[in-house]
Amino acid sequence: MWLYYTRLAWLSLKRHPLLSLLMSGAIALGIGAAMTTITINYLMSADPIPEKSDRLFYVQLDNWSPNEPYDEPNEPPDQLTYTDATALKAQAPAQLQTALAQSGGVIEPQGLGKEPFLARLRLTHNDFFTMFNAPFLYGQGWSDSADETGDRSIVLSKSANEEIFAGENSVGRTVRLEGKEFRVVGVLDEWVLKPRFYDVTTGAFNEMEDAYLPFKLKETMELPNSGNTNCWKMPEGEGFKSFLTSECVNFQFWVQLDSAQEKQEYVSFLNAYAEEQKKLGRFPRPLNNRLTDVMGWMEHENVVDDDAEVMMYLSLMFLAVCLLNTIGLLLTKFSFKTGEIALRRAVGATRMQLYQQQLVETVFIGVAGGIGGLILAALGLLGIEYLYGDQVKDLASLNLPLLGIGILLAIISSVLAGAYPTWRTCRIPPASQLKSE
Amino acid sequence: MSQIGPIFRALMRNKVGALLIALQVAVTMTIIVNAIHLINARGDLMGRSSGLDEANQFYVTSVGYANDFDAPYVIDTDLGGIRQLPSVDDAVQINAIPMSNGGWSMGLQTKAGEGENSVPTALYMTDEHGLNTLDVELIAGENFKATEISYRDRNTRDWPQSVILTEALAKSLFPDLSPTEIVGQTVYIQSNEPLTIIGIMDHLQAPWTGWTTVNHSMLVPNKFDSPYSRYLVRAKPGQREQAIEQVEQFMKQREVGRMVRETETMTQVRMDSYRGDSALQAILWTIIVVLCIITALGIVGLVSFSINRRRRQIGTRRALGAQKADIMSYFLTENVMITSVGVILGIAGSIALNMWLVSSFNLPRLSYIYLPIAMIAMWTIGLFAVWGPALRAAQISPAIATRNV
């Protein structure tokens, strides 16, 4: 029976090839546009570390000016001072916690024909690698004592290791960075976080760092600030030390809390810490500490570009137009077949059978539209990549779940488009149509 | 016009089909109005002047890494050499590049003391060649003197005595004074440190193109003692490519323990800075064009079908004396009626969508001038689409009425 319906549907579609093309083409365009923008939004809002994103928390303390909040309405700064970042690391009651800072420096690879290059540096504590599941190719993170003393240990990214050591196991060898010798303790495997959630202050989709160094080196090597530095009052006194003891924020802080109880303890600690600082004359604003988990922080920092969201809504409306278009066309086309349908009813076909038969035709259009739509989405994403360049690197590619969404969207669309016309056509009483002809 | 009655009654017999076209027109119009509004808003952003001579400027970054790297020596000799190059007009060390989205900002206030009202501004450190290299004009006061220029490093906390402000910044600080009167006034940086305004320049954008006070900039007579230093170069008109080549060659042949990073022209800086905006424009244009085509094709398809169904009626009308023009005008009028319903719904939709975009995404409010334009566009698309089928309908021979089906 179904085979017969399929043949009938095929014949019906073939009778009006342009119309069939128009209907499935409209669905394809609608799905293509919707899938392109859904992909971008989906990947921008993806959970970068799903296995533990609800156990990692970003710490904010309010050290800002008594006269005005860091941001309306009463938002604490999005980063910490050096004083607070180091104090939390030393005193706070968590198994795993790490301060972070961006920096930069020149690496001079040894060997003929190798040019020095400016490396993106991440200053951090060794907990960083455990907390964020950094994959090691060789070696491991540095020791606890390196965290304390600011030992010149370095963990290289895979690409930096390729640049400097041609991809060999370089653990134990030395790298020259900012005129100083560093000992390689680990080399990471390919590691790309989209978004690079642990520091989104200068853009959520920035590239990963070339090398990771102990946080303490910020102080001992006076490494330059990178990223955003914000101060509500100027550092007092002279020299680099005065910056580190100032109220300028340039540092991020993450903590891993595995249970509600741990979180509770941590919150109490933060409150006590803030009160203590108030006694020392700091933190002039009311108590305003924040602990935000990964996805909460991504939302707070508005990681999904507004433009991408606006485009997604516009393209969903676009899909709606395409569907209305197809509904209208199907309706008219089916109403043209009323004679045939009435005749079939009269000779004994049930309404259900007719319904199925019409539905097969709709599904044909839907499937063609869906396939066309996915192809168009792939093209659309190429277009987006061309238009935005590096800004959307790795954000413009279809993956398995997205293909699933695409197929689902195509099915829903074609059913939506086909349901009403089919239903209306099959409602025809057999006699009326036969009479008029 | 006398046709409107019968057309309306005929339409009521196929309400759903007509309603679908009307809805399609409404949603299409909603999208088009808001998309064009967004395109224009971005166009306005991109059309703002940076105040620079972008076509002839570029910058190059030098990063010292040798242990004995002597920044002030390298900077001074670099600049001396670059300024000598035949294709170079002028060059300056600068801490931030306009439109690059990275830089320094500070607050200025007209009264000393903490908690006083403070006006944010971008800060550019340049020497006395700054005005010429940036291509900004003084509208009052004077330029820095060579003797005023001092070196600072990242730990320097105090500021030089004199500053040059953009007119926009000066006006924000002293709304009641003219530029000439503002010259000589004192403003305070870091709450308490006095600065004397020695000059007012016409226009220079801050580095952050999305900043609310993007026209607030000030020049400070400083050079920056750091291994990481940027030179902004202004080539002689039309000689940018030669200048880039000469500057790169000059810098790379000097062996002073530094690396020279890629040169970037101001044209590229602008493109990178507004890349998202121009991409959004391109995408929206594509959506608009495709949408118009789809809507038009949809109308063509629907009308063709309804004409096919009414072949005998049309033939009968023709046999009873209707002219070809009458048949044409029947379908054109029908289309205008349907489109008009769509357009009315579209106005409501456009405004509603815009209100939602304004509240959810902080986008600018719709200018109502777009509505009549979009209405005319929708009617035109409708008529354009229906023209062909209607013309074919008019060709139906009266004889068809006499035939049996």
> For the residues of A308-371, what is the DSSP string, one character each?
HHHHHHHHHHHHHHHHHHHHHHHHHHHHHTHHHHHHHHHTT--HHHHHHHHHHHHHHHHHHHHH
In this prediction, what percent of chain B has a pLDDT beyond 70? 99
User: Are residue B249 and residue B348 in the same domain, yes or no?
Assistant: no
Neighbouring-strand partners of residue A263: none
What is each CA distance from B399 to A107, B295, B396, in whole angstroms?
A: 90, 34, 8
User: Are residue B38 and residue B78 in the same domain, yes or no?
Assistant: no
* Closest residue, chain B, to A224 (C-alpha): B154
Could you tell me the end-to-end alpha-carbon distance of chain A, in angstroms, rounded to an integer? 28
A chain contacts of residue B282, beta-carbon cutoff 8 Å: 387
Query: Mutation test of the interface with chain A: which of B291, B295, B308, choosing the one with the most A Cβ atoms within 10 A?
Result: B291
Characterize the bridge pairing of strands B258-260 and B57-64: antiparallel
- Asked whether the predicted pLDDT for residue A133 surpasses 60, the reply is yes
Residue A432's pLDDT is: 61
User: Are residue B247 and residue B365 in the same domain, yes or no?
Assistant: no
User: Are residue B393 and residue B346 in the same domain, yes or no?
Assistant: yes
User: Are residue B106 and residue B242 in the same domain, yes or no?
Assistant: yes
A chain contacts of residue B65, beta-carbon cutoff 8 Å: 105-106, 108, 116, 178-179
d(C-alpha B337, C-alpha B331), whole Å: 10
Residue B156's pLDDT is: 85
B252 neighbors B260 (Cβ within 8 angstroms): yes
For B5, counting Cβ atoms within 10 Å of its Cβ (0-12 exposed, 13-18 middle, 19+ buried), the class is: exposed
Average pLDDT for chain A: 88
For A330, counting Cβ atoms within 10 Å of its Cβ (0-12 exposed, 13-18 middle, 19+ buried), the class is: buried
For A80, the token pair is 């910490």
- Asked whether the predicted pLDDT for residue A361 surpasses 50, the reply is yes
Q: How far is A344 from chain B (nearest CA, A)?
A: 19
d(C-alpha B371, C-alpha A220), whole Å: 63
- Asked whether the predicted pLDDT for residue B351 surpasses 70, the reply is yes
Question: Which of the listed residues B256, B285, B312 is the one where a domain comes to its end?
Answer: B256
User: Are residue B322 and residue B207 in the same domain, yes or no?
Assistant: no
φ/ψ (deg, to 5) at A381: -70, -35
Length of chain A: 437
The string of DSSP codes covering A107-128 is EE--STTPPPEEEEEEEE-THH
* Closest residue, chain A, to B42 (C-alpha): A307
Of A179, A306, A325, the CB nearest to B65: A179
Of B65, B275, B276, the CB nearest to A108: B65
d(C-alpha A153, C-alpha A181), whole Å: 9
B132 neighbors B90 (Cβ within 8 angstroms): yes
Query: Mutation test of the interface with chain A: which of B11, B15, B16, choosing the one with the most A Cβ atoms within 10 A?
Result: B16
* Closest residue, chain A, to B27 (C-alpha): A321
Query: Mutation test of the interface with chain A: which of B28, B225, B252, B294, choosing the one with the most A Cβ atoms within 10 A?
Result: B294
**How do residues A147-186 score in pLDDT, each as one tens digit?**
999 899 999 999 999 999 999 999 999 999 988 999 999 9
Q: How many domains does chain B have?
A: 2
A64 neighbors A52 (Cβ within 8 angstroms): no
Of A317, A324, A420, the CB nearest to B30: A317
User: Are residue B287 and residue B198 in the same domain, yes or no?
Assistant: no
The reply to whether residue A387 touches residue B278, judged by beta carbons under 8 angstroms, is yes
- Asked whether the predicted pLDDT for residue B402 surpasses 80, the reply is no
- Asked whether the predicted pLDDT for residue B208 surpasses 70, the reply is yes
Instruction: Please state the separation of Cα B298 from the chain's center in Å.
Output: 34
Characterize the bridge pairing of strands A56-60 and A249-256: antiparallel
The reply to whether residue A234 touches residue B190, judged by beta carbons under 8 angstroms, is yes
User: Are residue B70 and residue B43 in the same domain, yes or no?
Assistant: no
Judge whether B316 lies within some domain: yes
Judge whether B265 lies within some domain: no
A chain contacts of residue B357, beta-carbon cutoff 8 Å: 310
For B162, the token pair is 């004199």
**How do residues A189-223 score in pLDDT, each as one tens digit?**
999 998 999 999 888 888 899 999 999 999 999 99
B38 neighbors B276 (Cβ within 8 angstroms): no
d(C-alpha A418, C-alpha A269), whole Å: 60
Of A233, A307, A332, the CB nearest to B302: A332
d(C-alpha B168, C-alpha A414), whole Å: 56
Q: How far is A254 from chain B (nearest CA, A)?
A: 25
A105 neighbors A121 (Cβ within 8 angstroms): yes
Domain boundaries, chain A: 2-45+305-436, 56-300
In this prediction, what percent of chain A has a pLDDT beyond 90? 51
- Asked whether the predicted pLDDT for residue A369 surpasses 80, the reply is yes
- Asked whether the predicted pLDDT for residue A399 surpasses 90, the reply is no
- Asked whether the predicted pLDDT for residue A436 surpasses 60, the reply is no
Please, which residues have CB within 8 angstroms of residue B122's CB and are 6 or more apart in sequence?
B96, B103, B104, B105, B206, B207, B208, B211, B216, B217, B218
Residue B404's pLDDT is: 57
d(C-alpha B154, C-alpha A223), whole Å: 11
The reply to whether residue B282 touches residue A243, judged by beta carbons under 8 angstroms, is no
d(C-alpha A198, C-alpha A209), whole Å: 12
Of B28, B276, B294, the CB nearest to A26: B294
Q: How far is A401 from chain B (nearest CA, A)?
A: 25
pLDDT-derived band at B99, boundaries 50, 70, 90: very high
Average pLDDT for chain B: 91
Of A224, A243, A321, the CB nearest to B291: A321
The reply to whether residue A234 touches residue B157, judged by beta carbons under 8 angstroms, is yes
Q: What does the CA dihedral A413, A419, A424, A425 come to, rounded to 10 degrees?
A: 90
Name the residue among A149, A262, A226 with its Cα closest to residue B102. Answer: A226
Instruction: State which residues form the domain around B153.
Output: 66-256
| Other Cβ atoms within 10 Å of A75 Cβ, number | 15
User: Are residue B29 and residue B75 in the same domain, yes or no?
Assistant: no
B chain contacts of residue A105, beta-carbon cutoff 8 Å: 65
Residue B174's pLDDT is: 95
Please, which residues have CB within 8 angstroms of residue B149's CB and are 6 or more apart in sequence?
B127, B128, B221, B222, B223
**What value, to the nearest 5°, has the Cα angle with vertex A201 and ends A197 and A207?**
60
Name the residue among A47, A28, A256, A238 with its Cα closest to residue B157. Answer: A238
The reply to whether residue A387 touches residue B279, judged by beta carbons under 8 angstroms, is yes
Name the residue among A210, A157, A144, A153 with its Cα closest to residue A185. Answer: A153
* Closest residue, chain B, to A331 (C-alpha): B17
What is the Cα Rg of chain A in Å?
Answer: 31
Of B155, B259, B306, the CB nearest to A332: B306
Please, which residues have CB within 8 angstroms of residue A276's CB and are 6 or more apart in sequence?
none
d(C-alpha B352, C-alpha B346), whole Å: 10
Please, which residues have CB within 8 angstroms of residue B249's CB and are 6 or more apart in sequence?
none
Judge whether B60 lies within some domain: no
Q: Name the 3-class secondary structure at A249.
A: strand
For A322, the token pair is 């395409």
- Number of residue pairs across A and B with CB atoms under 8 Å? 141
* Closest residue, chain A, to B17 (C-alpha): A328
For B212, the token pair is 């609310």
d(C-alpha B349, C-alpha B372), whole Å: 14
What is each CA distance from A409 to A28, A35, A413, in whole angstroms?
A: 11, 9, 6
The reply to whether residue B283 touches residue A384, judged by beta carbons under 8 angstroms, is yes
Judge whether B59 lies within some domain: no
User: Are residue B174 and residue B252 in the same domain, yes or no?
Assistant: yes
- Asked whether the predicted pLDDT for residue B374 surpasses 80, the reply is yes
Name the residue among B302, B265, B267, B277 with its Cα closest to residue B382. Answer: B302
d(C-alpha A206, C-alpha B166), whole Å: 33
pLDDT-derived band at B145, boundaries 50, 70, 90: very high
Q: How far is B178 from chain A (nearest CA, A)?
A: 31
- Asked whether the predicted pLDDT for residue A437 surpasses 70, the reply is no
User: Are residue B206 and residue B335 in the same domain, yes or no?
Assistant: no
User: Are residue B183 and residue B136 in the same domain, yes or no?
Assistant: yes
Residue A433's pLDDT is: 59
d(C-alpha B112, C-alpha B186), whole Å: 10
The reply to whether residue A106 touches residue B63, judged by beta carbons under 8 angstroms, is yes
d(C-alpha B60, C-alpha B78), whole Å: 11
**What value, to the nearest 5°, has the Cα angle with vertex A66 and ends A62 and A72?**
65
* Closest residue, chain A, to B35 (C-alpha): A314
Length of chain B: 405
Average pLDDT of the segment spanning A392-407:
80
B349 neighbors B26 (Cβ within 8 angstroms): yes
Of B24, B30, B261, the CB nearest to A328: B24
Name the residue among B98, B83, B54, B51 with its Cα closest to residue B243. Answer: B83
**How do residues B257-301 score in pLDDT, each as one tens digit?**
899 988 999 999 999 999 989 999 999 999 999 999 999 988 888
Residue B235's pLDDT is: 96
d(C-alpha B269, C-alpha A432), whole Å: 72
What is each CA distance from B194 to A344, B128, B151, B160, B187, in whole angstroms?
A: 94, 21, 19, 9, 6
In this prediction, what percent of chain A has a pLDDT beyond 70? 98
Judge whether B197 lies within some domain: yes
d(C-alpha B113, C-alpha A36), whole Å: 54
φ/ψ (deg, to 5) at A212: -120, 135
Question: Which of the listed residues B207, B225, B256 is the one where a domain comes to its end?
Answer: B256
* Closest residue, chain A, to B288 (C-alpha): A318
Characterize the bridge pairing of strands A174-177 and A96-108: antiparallel
A6 against A103, higher pLDDT: A103
Question: Which of the listed residues B203, B225, B256 is the one where a domain comes to its end?
Answer: B256
A23 neighbors A361 (Cβ within 8 angstroms): no
Of A243, A331, A388, the CB nearest to B20: A331
Q: How far is B358 from chain A (nearest CA, A)?
A: 11
A30 neighbors A322 (Cβ within 8 angstroms): yes
